[in-house]
């Protein structure tokens, strides 16, 4: 009897969050500054979050603009499930965009991040994440970057999930990523967590 009670208690000590959607496209007001663009995404969450299914990171195919010179379409699916004992460190998705410059050298074309939306929405949410490109602080390095067409690259883009770790980073923004996401939670009601959702299935 004691073992059954412990098992029941453990099953109520965490909740599940399922995220589905896709990285739809990248949009640039005057067209992309480069060719053969591809994007990598990384899921970042707090220490109490555990990935149960899906990929923590993935890379899109290489894509180019079509009829609309301002838009690069990826249509890469995003789907994963995580569990946690509390909402602290809510999952974020960090995007790193790369492409070839005029010398056909692969270089960074921008970073972006989005928070996974709260669960309970009736439809997908369209998120537009601005792309920013790190810049060198000194004039000499900035001039070499302009001549070579190679932008500075972050060793670990995941630090973007923590504002205190990239404070003072010099950058400029150009373009945005369009991401469609929908989230569903299970088990949150048993933990007295309320996202304001209208339809939640806590029977499982």
In the predicted structure, residue 38 carries a pLDDT above the cut 90: yes
Does residue 4 form part of some domain?
no
Q: What is the CATH number of the domain that holds 30?
A: 2.60.40.150
Domain count, the chain: 1
Q: Say how far apart CA 176 and CA 48 lie, in whole Å.
A: 30
| Confidence at 120, pLDDT banded by 50, 70, 90 | low
In the predicted structure, residue 155 carries a pLDDT above the cut 90: no
Q: Say how far apart CA 202 and CA 11 lie, in whole Å.
A: 12
pLDDT of residue 201: 45
Does residue 201 form part of some domain?
no
pLDDT of residue 199: 44
Does residue 147 form part of some domain?
yes
pTM of the model as a whole: 0.81
User: Given phi > 0 = left and psi -120 to 50 = alpha, else beta, which region is 94?
Assistant: beta
Tens digit of each residue's pLDDT (9 = 90 or more) over 58-95: 999 998 887 778 899 999 999 999 999 999 999 999 99
Which structural domain, as residue segments, surrounds residue 156?
13-189
Does residue 5 form part of some domain?
no
Does residue 195 form part of some domain?
no
DSSP characters over 109-131: EEEEEEEPPPTT-SSPEEEEEEE
Q: Residue 65 burial by CB count (10 A; 0-12/13-18/19+): exposed, middle or buried?
A: middle
pLDDT > 70: percent of the chain: 79
Q: Say how far apart CA 165 and CA 158 lie, in whole Å.
A: 10
Does residue 180 form part of some domain?
yes
In the predicted structure, residue 202 carries a pLDDT above the cut 50: no
Does residue 194 form part of some domain?
no
Does residue 18 form part of some domain?
yes
In the predicted structure, residue 145 carries a pLDDT above the cut 70: no
First and final C-alpha spacing in the chain: 22
């Amino acid at each position: 009897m004691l073992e059954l009670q412990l098992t029941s208690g453990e099953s109520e000590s965490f909740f599940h969050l399922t995220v589905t959607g896709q990285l739809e496209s990248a949009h640039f007001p005057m067209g992309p500054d480069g060719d053969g663009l591809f994007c990598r995404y990384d899921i970042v969450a707090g220490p109490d979050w555990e990935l149960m299914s899906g990929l923590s990171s993935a890379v899109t195919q290489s894509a180019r603009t079509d009829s609309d010179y301002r838009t690069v379409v990826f249509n890469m699916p995003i789907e994963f499930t995580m569990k946690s004992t509390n909402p602290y460190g809510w999952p974020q998705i960090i995007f790193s965009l790369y492409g070839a410059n005029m010398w056909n050298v692969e270089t960074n074309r921008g970073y972006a991040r989005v928070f996974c939306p709260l669960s309970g929405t009736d439809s997908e949410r369209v998120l537009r994440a601005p792309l920013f490109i790190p810049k060198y602080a000194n004039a000499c390095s900035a001039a070499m970057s302009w001549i070579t067409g190679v932008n500075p690259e972050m060793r670990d883009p995941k630090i973007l999930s923590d504002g205190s770790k990239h404070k003072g980073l010099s950058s400029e923004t150009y373009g945005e990523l369009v991401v469609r996401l929908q989230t569903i939670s299970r088990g949150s009601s048993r933990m007295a967590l309320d996202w304001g959702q209208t339809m939640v299935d806590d029977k499982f």
